[in-house]
Structure 1
Amino acid sequence: MWTIAAAIILGLAMFVFFLFRVFEYSILARRKKLPPGSMGWPYIGETLQLYSGSTNSFFSLKQKRYGDVFKTHILGCPCVMIASPEAARFVLVSQAHLFKPTFPTSKQRIIGPQALFFHDGPYHAKLRKLVVSSFATEGIKSILSDIESLTIATLDSWDAKKINTFTEMKKFTFQVGILRIFGRQENIDMNELNEAYLSLENGYNSLAINIPGTKFNNAMKARRRLSKIVEKVVQSRRAKSQHRSDDSNFLDVLLASKEESGQQLSHEQVVDNIIGIIFASRDTTASVLTWIIKFLKSSPVLLESVTAEHESITLKKASSDDRLTWEDTKCMHLTTRVIQETLRVATVLSFTFREAVEDVEYKGYIIPKGWKVLPLFRNIHHSPDYFPDPQKFDPSRFEATPKANTFLPFGNGVHSCPGSELAKLEMLVFIHHLITKFRWELDESKTGVQYSPFQIPQEGLPIRVDRK
């Protein structure tokens, strides 16, 4: 009986909400010239259409029908989508002060409201400076050998096996992220940490319906478990008064930082930002590495050229066991272009969220205050106007610098991804050891694409790996 009553109450609430939204949008439409588009069902909007199939097809069909600026309603939020370099620059750079960084409520609650991604102004500037100090070039040079050790150990575990590439890459990038966040010395139960993270990840794109049994509810439980794990590490590190390890990891940087008032960052601020960085450091890079393995194997001539580039680096060393240097990674020019083209073709980060802080006019349309604004990076990356024959995998197109605001794999402006240099470094190191020491075969029966929520090859790209 209680289940039936709850369902009736929920249904009535959604109906009332629907009527309110219809009234609200009709008022807006009369008062302001909204972009063209459709809003879908009450509260749910067009979320199911977005995530039930190809997000690429969803946005491409919308753009084809309505143009480069259109409205929709996803994850409980009215949204305006933009799909041109000029519009992306308008929102992310030139008029960025009119659009604050934001995410749907579900994402903010799962990661933590104090995380860098959800803020602007002085607090964001301070946190970003701390992140950059740990994840930009100077901050990651010291862990090159550690990344290489993790790479070698990962590849050794693949030898003579059939593996799921995306699953294995998630394990690898997770380890690299944890290394940079906590440092070399921290004793952490990686299995417990990984299990909590996976549960959180499963509910990341769900609606914020916190009812037992829903993905969001399970994700919030996992978030509390993950928070407790991080809290233990933070408490242990704080107990080591004035402790700073020799690798200046992100946790030590956070704990050493003080607010303008002279107070240290709060416990919630530290935990939320660590969880946020854990989230940001894993699946995106893992997805790109998975696609690189597929694209290289699918192009024998390109694979041969990339292999030659890395073998030339190995030949210059006194011993085959000599480790890579920072200077070696700067000589991987073709490999860098392969990474760039993979970032363009795969476009793991299909869009980002902003929110209008006031009514904003753009090209005759009004973007109402409070509406989400999503620059569609993938639509820009796959436009033949900027990248001829956009579906073709062609690293040579990056021999020349792309037109401004047409290549945005890490976003743009003050909120662009501060961990992009670490991501590129771990990809370069991994590719080097993979192609110089191993060979792999694709499962030719798995040629499709799936979304989890990032675009990845079908079933995570099963491959057979053997040492050369």
Structure 2
Amino acid sequence: MWTVFGLCVVGLIVVWFTHWINKWRNPKCNGVLPPGSMGPPLIGESLQLIVPSYSLELHPFIRKRVQRYGPIFRTSVAGRPIIVSTDVEFNHYLAKQEGRLVELWYLDSFAELFKQDGENKTNAIGLVHKYVRSITLNHFGIDNLKETLLSQIEEYVNKTLQTWSSLPSVEVKHAASAMIFDLTANKLFGYDAEKSPVKMSEKLANTLDGLMSFPLNIPGTAYHKCLKYQNEALNMLRNTVKERMISPEKRRGDFLDQAIDDMQTESYLTEDFLVYFLFGILFASFESVSALLSLTLKLLAEHPTVLQQMTAEHEAILKNREDPNSTLNWDEYKSMTLTLGVINEALRLANVAPGLLRRALKDIEFKGYTIPAGWTIMLANSAIQLNPNTYKDPLAFNPWRWQDLEPQVVSKNFMPFGGGIRQCAGAEYSKTFMATFLHVLVTKYRWTKVKGGKISRSPMLGFVDGIHINFVEKHS
């Protein structure tokens, strides 16, 4: 009798397990789901996504599935069902549907970094998003760049490169991370890296290491370490906000001061919100600009003709100045045709993030497929920016191609800073920083790559062993 009972139990478990597997592999949908595979239950296809590749080509996770299923396919990452789109028209359409069909969304491992009081604040819409964009543009937008920030960036870059030139070599990704972090943090809340007892940039770097890891919060995992360093960084920011709020004499009229003043009129602005807001801005600028700068120097080192012509462009700017001792101005920045082409080309090839994430607010119909409400959508613009139908020889570093591309083609096929109302408010700040760095570099320094530079995508852009460069002042 016990044998029969045991066989019945086993049979029930097998039936239940089979039903569960079938349900996982064939999710409910009020229509036809895009083709694809959900992978094993819970884990999904997470491991395939984080397996590194070692070239500027599209990450194999996306490339192989596009070849098998087409430009729109389904998958699962970290237990969450995801639709991945490399379709130009669909991505462009969704970028304009913020708050109607889709909302901002992050994978759990990233979203957890921006939670407060158990609530995810990354998908803020309406008044909150308008405020975030407004205050960011007020301090890092074009007007402020023209008036004061451009010259401050140049001064800071001069100081940084002087320090780098005193060293045998510099691992650019790490050094650039600290450079962009220290300047941005200074503009946000007066952070002084030289006086700070703890390097906040190192906390952010350690947080980033676990960003794309599986969100398993147990001791010893990369994600657990990631959260540990994140908490340390948040505590430092929390102390900064508290100190400013209770010490009016320390006001500087900066970003943080404006946010604190706005707490009187904007109910959603809390002390905790400001802490996470500052963290988010620092996090975004920290990784994207340092990865982009590292790749740019690697590409320039490998293409001496581009470097030679770009150097001539910047030397012409110095030659045409009435006052040779004046600093870079906005008109000069906008005249850097080749340099801006170099930056755009590096942005196109870098694809620092694998894609933009949104969540469907309702069922979305497109080309006969239905994307269920609640599903995550990855707009894989990395694939679009490497499309040979738009960019001839897409893996080639060709900054001159930007002189011939039509504006309407660029608007749909080049979105390194996002699109629609979610386009990054710090986009111009990042590009201006890059151009200013290159201006100082090629007019005042000689530089050579010492070692490293091998690309690694996992799927975010990185380098296997960094890229080490020796900087030498031209007059020395």
**What TM-score, normalized to structure 1?**
0.88
Cα contact 1:352–1:375 (8 A) shared by 2: yes
What is the distance in 1 between the residues matched to 2:285 and 2:356? 16
**Residue 464 of structure 1 corresponds to which residue in structure 2?**
470
Question: Structure 1 residue 349: deviation in Å?
Answer: 2.9
Letter in 2 for 1:251: L
**Residue 308 of structure 1 corresponds to which residue in structure 2?**
312
**Residue 149 of structure 1 corresponds to which residue in structure 2?**
155
Cα contact 1:90–1:96 (8 A) shared by 2: no
Deviations 1:27-65 (A, max 9, x none): 526x53110111112222111111112371211111111
**Residue 394 of structure 2 corresponds to which residue in structure 1?**
390
- Deviates further, 42-51 or 236-245: 236-245
Matches within 5 A, 1:121-140: 121-140=126-145
Deviations 1:319-366 (A, max 9, x none): 655322233222222111110111112222330110011111111111
Letter in 2 for 1:423: S
**Residue 34 of structure 2 corresponds to which residue in structure 1?**
35
Give 1:105's match in structure 2, choosing from 95, 108, 118: 108
What is the distance in 2 between the residues matched to 1:19 and 1:199? 41
Size of the alignment, in residue pairs?
449
What is the distance in 2 between the residues matched to 1:300 and 1:127? 41
Matched, 1:172 2:179: yes
What is the distance in 1 between the residues matched to 2:250 and 2:169? 43
The SS at the match of 1:355 is strand
Deviations 1:406-425 (A, max 9, x none): 11111101111111011011
Cα contact 2:448–2:469 (8 A) shared by 1: yes
What is the distance in 1 between the residues matched to 2:207 and 2:17? 28
Deviations 1:160-193 (A, max 9, x none): 6222121111111111221221137798627431
- Deviates further, 343-352 or 271-280: 343-352
**Residue 67 of structure 1 corresponds to which residue in structure 2?**
70
- Deviates further, 182-191 or 33-42: 182-191
Matches within 5 A, 1:351-390: 351-390=355-394
Letter in 1 for 2:128: Y
Matched, 1:57 2:57: no
What is the distance in 2 between the residues matched to 1:22 and 1:183? 56
- Deviates further, 201-210 or 412-421: 201-210
Question: Structure 1 residue 227: deviation in Å?
Answer: 1.6
Matched, 1:158 2:164: yes
The SS at the match of 2:472 is strand
Identity %: 29
Question: Structure 1 residue 150: deviation in Å?
Answer: 1.9
Question: Structure 1 residue 116: deviation in Å?
Answer: 6.5
- Deviates further, 321-330 or 405-414: 321-330
Matches within 5 A, 1:396-415: 396-399=400-403, 400-402=405-407, 403=409, 404-415=411-422
The SS at the match of 1:161 is coil
Give 1:216's match in structure 2, choosing from 214, 217, 223: 223
Cα contact 2:98–2:421 (8 A) shared by 1: no
Question: Structure 1 residue 259: deviation in Å?
Answer: 6.9
Matched, 1:89 2:92: yes
Cα contact 1:450–1:459 (8 A) shared by 2: no
Deviations 1:223-272 (A, max 9, x none): 22112111111112112339752xx5321221121476x54710111011
What is the distance in 1 between the residues matched to 2:257 and 2:294? 32
Cα contact 2:46–2:77 (8 A) shared by 1: yes
**Residue 7 of structure 1 corresponds to which residue in structure 2?**
none
The SS at the match of 1:206 is coil
CA RMSD of aligned residues (A): 2.6
**Residue 26 of structure 1 corresponds to which residue in structure 2?**
26
**Residue 256 of structure 1 corresponds to which residue in structure 2?**
261
Question: Structure 1 residue 17: deviation in Å?
Answer: 9.6
- Deviates further, 180-189 or 273-282: 180-189
Cα contact 2:113–2:227 (8 A) shared by 1: yes
What is the distance in 1 between the residues matched to 2:22 and 2:376? 18
Deviations 1:188-214 (A, max 9, x none): 627431232223222222222221222
Cα contact 1:17–1:42 (8 A) shared by 2: no
**Residue 11 of structure 1 corresponds to which residue in structure 2?**
none
The SS at the match of 1:70 is strand
What is the distance in 2 between the residues matched to 1:384 and 1:371? 30
The SS at the match of 2:300 is helix
Letter in 2 for 1:86: E
Cα contact 2:349–2:385 (8 A) shared by 1: yes
Change in Cα spacing, 1:118 to 1:242, as seen in structure 2 (3 Å) is: farther
The SS at the match of 2:96 is helix
Give 1:419's match in structure 2, choosing from 426, 429, 450: 426
Cα contact 1:76–1:207 (8 A) shared by 2: no
What is the distance in 1 between the residues matched to 2:153 and 2:458? 26
What is the distance in 2 between the residues matched to 1:136 and 1:437? 27
Cα contact 2:193–2:199 (8 A) shared by 1: no
What is the distance in 1 between the residues matched to 2:443 and 2:256? 35
Letter in 1 for 2:442: I
What is the distance in 1 between the residues matched to 2:472 and 2:199? 30
- Deviates further, 418-427 or 129-138: 129-138
What is the distance in 2 between the residues matched to 1:344 and 1:45? 29
Question: Structure 1 residue 446: deviation in Å?
Answer: 4.0
What is the distance in 2 between the residues matched to 1:382 and 1:430? 26
Cα contact 1:291–1:457 (8 A) shared by 2: no
The SS at the match of 1:411 is coil
**Residue 181 of structure 1 corresponds to which residue in structure 2?**
188
Give 1:291's match in structure 2, choosing from 278, 289, 295: 295
**Residue 10 of structure 1 corresponds to which residue in structure 2?**
none
Change in Cα spacing, 1:406 to 1:254, as seen in structure 2 (3 Å) is: same
Cα contact 1:116–1:124 (8 A) shared by 2: no
Change in Cα spacing, 1:131 to 1:240, as seen in structure 2 (3 Å) is: same
The SS at the match of 2:127 is helix
Matched, 1:265 2:264: no
Consecutive unaligned residues in structure 1, runs of 5 or more: 1-15
Cα contact 2:128–2:268 (8 A) shared by 1: no
What is the distance in 2 between the residues matched to 1:390 and 1:60? 14
Letter in 2 for 1:256: D
Cα contact 1:353–1:374 (8 A) shared by 2: yes
If you compute each CA radius of gyration, which structure gives the higher value, 1 or 2?
Answer: 2
The SS at the match of 1:157 is helix
